[in-house]
Structures are given as C-alpha cells and as structure tokens.
Chains A and B, each alone.
Chain A
Amino acid sequence: MRPGQRTGFAVLALVVLAAPAAVNYPTLEAQVLIAALLALGFNLLLGEMGFLSFGQATFNGIGAYCTGLLIKSGWPLLAALGASAGSAALAALVVGALSTQGTGIYAVMLTFAFNEMAYYAAFEWSDLTGGDNGLRGLARPALWGVGLADPRRYYYLVAAVFLVGFFLVLRLTASPFGHVLRAIRENEHRARAVGYRVRRYKVAAFALSGALSGLAGGLFAMLYQFVPLQAIDFNTSTDIVIMGLLGGTGSVYGPLLGAAVYTLMANFLSNLWARWPLILGLLFCSLVMFLRGGLWELCAAVWRRLGALVPRSGRRNSDAGGRRAARLEDRGAA
C-alpha cells in the first residue's frame, strides 16, 4: 500500500472500531459494513474493470443460504463464513465465465438473467431454503468460547471481517492483477493486443467479487439469524448498483460511502415516510446527471474548495498536488 492508502486504511479502521462506542446502534452499523462489503465487491467489477454486474444478489444469496445451512448442521461460524465465500466465488466463476461471453448490454443482461434463475431456484427449493418464508432459526454459535449473542460483540466480528476484506481489496488494486483490470476497463481490445488473456482476468475478478459478496451474505444471515428470500432477489442487486453509483466508482472509498448513505437513509427515512425511495430516486438522478463521480467526488470537490480558502501561509507544500490528494483521501475516509 502507498503511504496515503495506509493512512486512509488506519483512519477507516479507527472509525469502524470506534463507531458503536460513539453511537450505540451496533446492529445498524453492522448492516452498513455488510452493505459496504457488497458495494466493494460490485465496484471491483464496475469501478476497476468497467463491467456492470446487475446480479450481485446471486452471490450474496448463495453466501447467506450457505452459512445458514451450515450453521444449522453445526459448523463453526468462521468455517461456515469461509465456505460461503468459497461457494459464492464458485458461483461467480460460472456466472462470470458465461456472462463475459457477451459484450455490452448483453453481458449485463446475462448477469441479471442468472440472478433471476438463482432466485427462482431458491424460491422453488423450499425444503432447503424455506422458500418464501426464508431460512429461520439460526443461532449464532460462540467463537472461540466467546458468545456472540450480544449485538455489539457480533458487530466486532463483522468489523474484523470487513476490515480484512477491505485490506485485501486495497492490496488487489495495487497488484499487477489490479492494474490489468484497469487496462481492461480503459481499452479491452488493446489489453488483448499487448498480450493479456482478457477473459481469464474477467472471470477471476468475478470470482473475487463473488467471494466478497458471499462473505457479506453469510454475515447478514447471522446478523438477523434468518435468511429472507430477498437476499437473493434481483431488487437487492439493484440496491447494490445504486449504492455503488451513489458513492462513486472512481475510488475504493466511494462504494463504502454509498453503502453507508443508502443503508442509513433506508433505515431512518423509511420510518418517517413510506415513499422514501422517491427521495433516493431524486438524489440518484441528480448525481447521475450532474455528478458522475458520486458523493465521494462531491466530498473531494468540497474538500478542494476548503483547501483553496485556507490562506497561503497556512499550507505546507502548495505545489504538492499528489500529497494533497492523498491527504484528501485520508480525510474523506473519516
């Protein structure tokens, strides 16, 4: 990681770990982090590789069902979560291999079609998934002798998984593999013409994105001790797309911000007004029309403005644009 990234990660970790002490809503805060994992997985495909996946709920749902069923048959929690990440990655491998055969809108529609297939499979196979009623009665097992029934303790488990996941994504974006994904985003044809097997990279990126989403699904299942059919519903895929675009796809922090704003809005506004998605829709439309970079870009722009207002003498290194951008990233993460 670059020094700027290191500071960014440290600040984020601090915020995540201190959150329940500052504002005591551990269940909601855990939900934010789970949504953030989903948005992170989505953005690996869209922001890094330039592939719009409209079927991320497939992997979320598979992860959730997998954890639910394994917990019911007595698996330890971490093993169940690991298996969820693995099975979702496998599913994503298949969906990725088949979807990336198409190009443009057809590829997008294929991710959607596989999502619908997965949904109906879960709906029909009610012996296993509980169908419309959901998979119920999941008890949170203790982890290394520590009970997790207390929401705050469970939050810390979610926080740990989230931070590990985010750290891995940061590593990934700086790796040779991550650089190839961006080359594919910028010009797929040329990436092939300089010697990359583009399809393989796309499928691998799908698998990684699926693993993150499956992990999120498993954590979600154990947060509410229940897997609703909604976990694999196409509407959830749409929510994930909205979170990603709301926050902005240009930075790894964008999806986190989008997930947080979306989840908090859904929570507070839906209590006040049943038609709250109207507000979300307006916000979404105006961002798409006027600010493609999303809320993260907005924050960055505001921060630049504020920076410009600071008198010259107060600034170290007015020429070091890179350093300022790095500081900006750090601050924004807070």
Chain B
Amino acid sequence: MLLEARGLTRRFGGHVAVNNVDLSVRGGTLHAIIGPNGAGKTTLFNLLSGELKPSAGAILFDGCAVTELDITARVRAGIGRTFQRTNIFPGLSVFENLRIAAQARSAKRAALWRRADSLGEVSARAERVLEETSLSEMAHKPARELAGGDQRLLELGVALATAPVMLLLDEPSQGLSPEDARRLIARIRALAARYTVLLIEHNMALVMELSDEITVMNFGAVLARGTPAEIRADARVREAYLGRRG
C-alpha cells in the first residue's frame, strides 16, 4: 500500500466530519472517492494532504507515519494535491506558476545570490509540465487571464510540478464544460499511468471509466468500497444517491 489511513476521524466542535475512516490506496492505481455533498470527502483530503490535523487516527505514506507532518512536509514527501476551488498564483505568468512550484523541490530554492532562471533542472521540469498540460501557448500570460478550463489545467500543472509520487485531485472537472471535462479525462488517464491518483469527483461517468477502485462515503463514514462494477451494483450506494425507493 502506498497510502494507508487507519481510523481517521476529524471533529469540528460537535460535528464529526470524518468518522473512523480506513482507506488503502495501492501504488500505481487510480482510486476514486465519491459520495453526496457533505459526505466528508474534502475534509478527508485535507487530512491526507496535511491541511488539517486529524482528531484521531493515523496516516501512513510509503510505510512512514506522516500523521504529524504539515502540508509543506507532506508535499516534500511526495503527496501533491489540487484544490476544488482553483488555487494558483494569479498575478504570475503560467510558466512562473509551474516554475515556482518546481523550485520548491530544489535544494537551492531559497538561494539569494543566483538567478532563479539559472536553476536548470527547475526550469526543465516547468517546461515539461507546460507541455504535458498543453499550456505552452499561454506560458507568458498572467494566470488570472486564463479561461476557466485552462486555469483548472494549470491547477493540475502546479501539483505536477512539485514532482509528486501520489496525486490527490479534488474535483478536477469542477466548473468545466462537458467538452473540457472530456479532455480532462484523457489527461487524468495519462497521469494514472505514471502516478498513484486519489480522486474526488462528482462526474459519475468519469469515475466509472477511470477508477481501479472506488470508496463511497456518506455522513463522514465509508459506506462501501470496491471496483466500479461492484459499486454500480451496490444497493446501499444507490440508496445514498437516489433515496429509498417506495
């Protein structure tokens, strides 16, 4: 297992957003987390990426306990993430967005006495991600001037530029046109060949098509887990999504 969570719980006051969740993600697979709004998916992501500290439970990444590490340390350990709401550097160029993310992995990331563009391997990685995300044409545009779909791509690119082992993607198709969403599927499928991916997604067609394994959450707890075919056939899942049939 590349990522393992055991008994993960997070309370906000009296509300239990994530309740005793176990999760295992095998290396090299694409694992999706689905569930109705408010099921605790994003809170679970925040716990896994280090944005939030769990109230109880433990997280293992690549066999090491990372529960106590904050988000910065977990990125360095190889857990990259994207956000549900686009979270980029709006005033910086597209290339600089990627370059600054790549720079975070360089030993010379805080150097004062050399030029940033002299860090060859950093610029090279930014270039690679630029091509991977097909944003080359707008490399020098400020990120805020990009169309919504391209901003979502850049969001993904920033995470890729940090050279992750595992990618946590929080609703990457959020706010995309059907056309853009389709293109994104192709891209995520390509990524899944090289990274371990954990995906939160509302677009059911996308999830069923891409995932090796699915975990369904409801009311902060795990409702079901299995392959797409198993999940499709699961009565409890249908109930959670569609309500009990009379």
Contact = CB atoms under 8 A, between A and B. Distances in A.
Contacts of A289: none
A310 to B, nearest CB: 25
Contact of A178 (B83, B87, B116, B119): B116
A187 B100 contact: no
A182 B108 CA distance: 17
Contact of B72 (A175, A183, A186, A195): A195
A186 B81 contact: no
A176 B119 contact: yes
Given A189-B87, A190-B87, A190-B89, A196 B109 contact: yes
Interface residues of B, number: 36
B104 A194 contact: yes
Nearest to B122: A176
B103 A176 contact: yes
Interface stretch (B90-98, B204-212, B229-237): B90-98
Given A176-B103, A179-B103, A194-B101, A171 B162 contact: no
Contacts of A177: 110-112
Contact of A180 (B71, B90, B100): B100
A100 B50 CA distance: 21
Contact of B103 (A180, A189, A192, A193): A180
A180 B92 CA distance: 11
B116 A186 contact: no
Interface of B is mostly: loop
Contact of A196 (B104, B112, B161): B104
Contacts of B109: 176, 180, 196
Contacts of A171: 112-113
Given A176-B110, A194-B162, A195-B75, A187 B116 contact: no
Given A192-B71, A194-B104, A174 B88 contact: no
Residue with the greatest number of chain B CB neighbours at <10 A, chosen from A172, A180, A187: A187
Nearest to B96: A179
A172 B87 contact: no
A182 B92 contact: yes
Given A183-B92, A193-B87, A196-B72, A175 B111 contact: yes
B177 interface: no
B101 A175 contact: no
B87 A176 contact: no
B112 A193 contact: no
A196 B110 CA distance: 9
A183 B92 CA distance: 8
Question: Which range contains the number of A residues in contact with the other chain?
Answer: 20 to 34
Contacts of B111: 175-177
B90 A194 contact: no
Nearest to B75: A195
A175 B75 contact: no
Contact of A195 (B105, B108, B113): B105
Contacts of B117: 174
B187 interface: no
B88 to A, nearest CB: 7
A201 B161 CA distance: 21
Contacts of A176: 103, 106, 108-111, 114, 116, 119
Contacts of B158: 190, 194
Interface string B113-140: 1111101000000000000000000000
Contact of A187 (B76, B88, B106, B112): B88
A275 interface: no
Interface in A190-215: 190-197, 200-201, 204
Contacts of A186: 89-92
A187 B90 contact: yes
Given A177-B112, A179-B116, A192-B71, 6 more contacts: A175-B114, A177-B111, A180-B109, A186-B91, A193-B83, A194-B161
Interface of B: 49, 51, 71-72, 75-76, 81, 83, 87-92, 96, 99-101, 103-106, 108-117, 119, 158, 161-162
Interface of A: 171-172, 174-180, 182-183, 185-187, 189-197, 200-201, 204
Leading 10 A-B pairs by shortest Cβ distance: A195-B104, A186-B89, A195-B75, A194-B101, A179-B116, A176-B116, A183-B100, A194-B104, A176-B111, A186-B91
15 contacts: A175-B113, A175-B116, A176-B109, A179-B100, A180-B109, A183-B89, A187-B87, A187-B88, A190-B158, A191-B89, A192-B71, A193-B87, A195-B72, A195-B105, A196-B104
